[in-house]
Amino acid sequence: MLREAERMFAWWQRVRVGTMTRGTFRGYLRTVQCRVYRLLEQGTDAAEAKTARTCTKILKVFPALWTFARVAGVEPTNNTGERAVRHAVIYRKIS
């Protein structure tokens, strides 16, 4: 899964800087999506119950994982959201 994430983020970076089109990115991403889906399916049979439950839950929302590829302006990370609430979280912790 980590290799697939690294591959996807490398391509995404190229889209962000303009050296790859979103269409090309979506084409490349299909292979990553297939591999991730297979890995999650394998994970549902894991001996570790927590891993199996996590994989099952992710599979239920699998299409939502790839929203950033279909919708312009959506990032594949939650960094923007985390930055937006960072000051409130820090204030809460120190008060």
Q: What is the pLDDT of residues 33-67, one digit of tens each?
A: 999 999 999 999 988 999 999 999 999 999 999 98
What is the C-alpha to C-alpha distance for residues 60 and 45, in angstroms, rounded to an integer? 15
| Nearby residues of 39 by Cβ (< 8 Å), 6 or more positions away | 1, 4
Question: pLDDT grade, residue 11 (50/70/90)?
Answer: very high
What's the confidence (pLDDT) of residue 81?
63
Q: Give the range of the structural domain holding residue 42, as residue numbers without chain letter.
A: 2-94
H-type alpha helices, 18-78: 22-43, 49-60, 67-70
Question: pLDDT grade, residue 80 (50/70/90)?
Answer: low
More confident residue, 77 or 52: 52
Count of structural domains within the chain: 1
Chain centre distance of CA 13: 14
More confident residue, 9 or 77: 9
pTM greater than 0.95 (yes/no): no
What is the C-alpha to C-alpha distance for residues 23 and 33, in angstroms, rounded to an integer? 15
